[in-house]
Amino acid sequence: MIPYIPLILLGVGLNAVAQLLLKKGMMAVGPFSFSREGLFAIAPSVALSPFIVAGLASYVVGVAIWMLVLSRVDVSAAYPFLSLGYMVAAICGWLFFAEHISFMRAFGIGLTCIGVIFISQT
């Protein structure tokens, strides 16, 4: 598994980047009503947002990389690495969107990362 860790991290990173791009795009679009009328009203703004399009493209590339990973690594070893995306997204949310990270949230993310370290050693 060790030789595939860079590929795994690339897939995880693209997933986190996708989340951040989607967040940025939706911040520009703004809140909307989850109704038929609300969805139809917001659809053009969402479809034309470069951040949302880039976020979706990141997901597509990330899924392709993840399929490559799963063809080579046990899912029980690879899947926990996805939790590193929580750390990346939380730190980037704090840096780029001024989101608050409480001590308990940071502690939980830290524990998760420690678990991933243990899993990667097997």
Q: What is the pLDDT of residue 6?
A: 94
Percent pLDDT > 70 in the chain is 98
Cβ(20)–Cβ(93) below 8 Å:
yes
pLDDT digits (tens, 9 = 90+) for 20-68: 999 999 999 888 778 887 778 888 888 899 999 999 999 999 999 999 9
Residue (of 54, 122, 118, 114) closest to 84 by Cα position = 114
Cβ(1)–Cβ(77) below 8 Å:
yes
Helix (H, G, I), strand (E, B) or coil at 35: coil
Cβ(30)–Cβ(52) below 8 Å:
no
The domains of the chain are located at: 2-120
Model pTM?
0.81
pLDDT at 120 over 80: no
Distance CA 78, CA 69 (A): 8
